[in-house]
Amino acid sequence: MNAAEPVLAMRDVAIEIGGARVVDGVSITASAGRIVALVGESGCGKSLTALSILRLLPKAARFTGGTVELGGRVLSAMSEEQLAGVRGDEVAIIFQEPIASLNPLMRAGEQVEEALRLHRGLGSAEARREAIAMMTRVGISDAERRAEQYPFELSGGMCQRIMIAAALICRPKLLIADEPTTALDVTIQAQILDLMRDLRQSAGTAILVITHDMGVVADLADDVCIMYGGRIVESGPVDAIFEEPRHPYTKLLLATIPKLDGPRKVDLKTIAGVVPAAGTWPDGCRFRNRCPLADEACATVPPLVEVGPDHDTACWHSTRVAELA
Amino acid sequence: MSGLVAQRITFSQALVKTSRWWPVALIAMFVAAAIFAPLIAPYDPNAQNLVGRLKPPGTVSRTFHYWLGSDELGRDVLSRIIYGARISLTVAFASVILSGAVGVCLGMMAGYRRGWVEMVIMRVVDVFLSIPAILLAIITVAVLGPSLLNVILVLVLTRWPRYARVAYGQTLAVANMPYVRLSAFMGASATRVLLRHVLPNIIGAITVVATLEFGLMVLFEAGLSFLGLGVQPPTASWGAILSVGRNYLANAWWIATLPGACLFLLVLAINLIGDFVRDYLDPRIH
């Protein structure tokens, strides 16, 4: 996707839950200063994919194949102790529930300092100074006073900023943001997105955003990976994906976004059928039972092939996608 | 008029402030009495005076002045209560702290680690809860012999599962909170997560259990001593005085009533302090 040395390189990652391949051959690369969006419906495996980077999968899930590299080092071959040193230091995570992500009994400042104390062993005065500097950087005004406050005294947007400050305090190479704006109202959402854009530019952090909100993707991402049924069905630069989708799922997904300037009193578009439960996918292309273009060819798994500059799609009929309304 | 109102507010505020501190003062008093018993008690708690048996409070008999009356052997009830505080407070504090520590550690481990750790610990808890405390006490004492230390040991053995259960349930609830998961995701060790994030969030419930258990421990020590499994006569403990005094309740009410009143005040004070500590630990309240 980018000529620079990638910060994150996942190759052919596979995860199984109870024998079902819920993540199947997923490859994602993210370079410094780029924002990659991982998009898909609930249950398509996008969160599992992200959690597998730091080997934080829930107990039921098993990492069964592939490699994860961070700045050239193979994370998937590291020991638990080595990984504990990477977590929160070189790779940080933020969640979608900003208020629940902060310990209600700890002052905001202490929580921002936590990673510094864990990974850098700083004294309390120095850690506090850095924490306040980082809080100011993520747009918290009056940071000295905020650092002394408890989460219940802060608004949701403020909590999200605290959480981002806590995630960034060790200046990670990679930030994983799992639906970072879902719980926020649109004004705060826009501010948080601005903040992430700013970070990407000023700190050169690679950001992996997990979302199902196409608005966020269009607004924020440089590159997009569309997931369906545990596989990446299309990936490429955000403009190419939005202007000329080459996979029927992407095309239909984009068509479901309601448009304010379109005709009124028209039914919202939907994709026929429902997402099959994990393990009940059809053979071959996992989207074929809902795909209007499906035929016999789709019984064979389509490979991810290049259809444009850095633009890949996994569909036998990628040339006919434009026909879809 | 406004001056009056202002005065009234400060008065009620002052009252609230004092009402917070009197339980602490009371417990400090009991602890001081226990520590300095030989200096405070007017007489030897075991000195008998068969002429002055079952005398009501305020009686003067021979060289004794019974402020709180005398028991069936003419021993001074006040002195026995003061000396008894040593045994009762030691047993109550030691057994609550030790069983609490054991129970909370195991309960948090079971709730956080899950899997086979949870399985083993919680089944052991079930086993311990199913053994009658008295049976366990008799077995322990039969093997180790009766002593103060063994009373504490028995109480720890029989009471830790209560804390383990509460700590386990609370940990289960807290461990799934995003901030706990996030802390582990940030590279914090399990010990650090438990001490920094889980324990502070469950300590309120534990405090409530501990304050309830505190009063029970004093009574259990009395029960064990009564059965001859605890401290042996003539050593005074509140429980021992209570259980002997019960036989004379009809004609010498003071023997059982006065240590009972002390016990009541102690347990009340502990409960009030427990409430206070629980509120203090919650930043949303204070």
Task: Please say which residue of A171, A189, A205 terminates a domain.
Answer: A171
Are A142 and A189 contained in the same domain?
no
Q: How far is B113 from chain A (nearest CA, A)?
A: 11
Give the nearest chain A residue to B197 (CA atoms): A103
In DSSP terms, A15 is beta-bridged to: A23, A63
Judged by a CB distance cut-off of 8 A, whether residue B191 touches chain A is no
Task: Please say which residue of A153, A171, A189 terminates a domain.
Answer: A171
Are A106 and A222 contained in the same domain?
no
Residue B115: list chain A partners with CB under 8 A: 59
Are A113 and A227 contained in the same domain?
no
Residue B200: list chain A partners with CB under 8 A: 103, 105-106
Give the nearest chain B residue to A110 (CA atoms): B196
Burial A98-136 (b: 16+ CB within 10 A, else e): bbbbbbbbbbbbbbbbbbbbbbeebeeeebbebbbebbe
Q: Count how many pairs of residues, chain A against chain B, have C-beta atoms within 8 Å.
A: 68
Task: Please say which residue of A120, A153, A171 terminates a domain.
Answer: A171
Three-state secondary-structure class, residue A146: helix
| Residue A230, in any domain of the structure | yes
| Block residue for tokens 């309304």 | A325
Split into its structural domains, chain A has a count of 2
Rounded CA separation B161/B110 (Å): 12
pLDDT of residue B286: 59
Are A248 and A258 contained in the same domain?
yes
CB contact under 8 A, A104 and B201: yes
- Render each residue's pLDDT in chain A as its tens digit; 325 residues: 444 678 899 989 999 888 888 888 899 999 888 999 999 888 788 888 988 888 888 888 888 888 898 888 888 888 888 888 888 888 988 887 888 889 988 999 999 998 888 888 888 888 899 899 989 888 888 889 999 999 989 988 888 889 888 988 888 889 998 888 777 778 878 888 888 888 888 888 899 999 888 888 888 899 999 999 889 999 999 999 888 888 999 988 888 887 777 777 777 778 877 778 877 888 888 888 888 888 888 888 888 888 888 899 998 988 888 877 6
Which CATH number do you get for residue B32? 1.10.3720.10
Are A184 and A223 contained in the same domain?
yes
pLDDT tens digit string along B99-144?
999 999 999 999 998 889 999 999 999 999 898 888 888 888 888 8
| Residue B14, in any domain of the structure | no
Which CATH number do you get for residue A191? 3.40.50.300
| Residue B15, in any domain of the structure | no
| Residue A204, in any domain of the structure | yes
ipTM score assigned to the predicted complex: 0.76
Judged by a CB distance cut-off of 8 A, whether residue B35 touches chain A is no
| Residue A190, in any domain of the structure | yes
| Residue A183, in any domain of the structure | yes
Give the nearest chain B residue to A169 (CA atoms): B186
Are A199 and A56 contained in the same domain?
yes
Q: How far is B115 from chain A (nearest CA, A)?
A: 10
Boundaries of domain holding B262: 20-281
CB contact under 8 A, A118 and B201: no
Q: Enter the DSSP assignment of A4.
A: S
Q: How far is A239 from chain B (nearest CA, A)?
A: 33
CB contact under 8 A, A105 and B200: yes
**Within 13 Å of residue B216, how many CA atoms lie on the same side as its CB?**
14
Are A208 and A143 contained in the same domain?
no
Boundaries of domain holding A225: 6-90+172-323
Are A192 and A144 contained in the same domain?
no
Are A204 and A241 contained in the same domain?
yes
Split into its structural domains, chain B has a count of 1
CB neighbour list of residue A309: distance below 8 Å, 6 or more residues apart: A237, A240
Q: How far is A103 from chain B (nearest CA, A)?
A: 6
Are A37 and A181 contained in the same domain?
yes
| Residue B7, in any domain of the structure | no
Q: How far is A166 from chain B (nearest CA, A)?
A: 10
CB contact under 8 A, A93 and B182: yes
CB contact under 8 A, A88 and B186: yes
Are A80 and A23 contained in the same domain?
yes
| Residue A1, in any domain of the structure | no
| Residue B12, in any domain of the structure | no
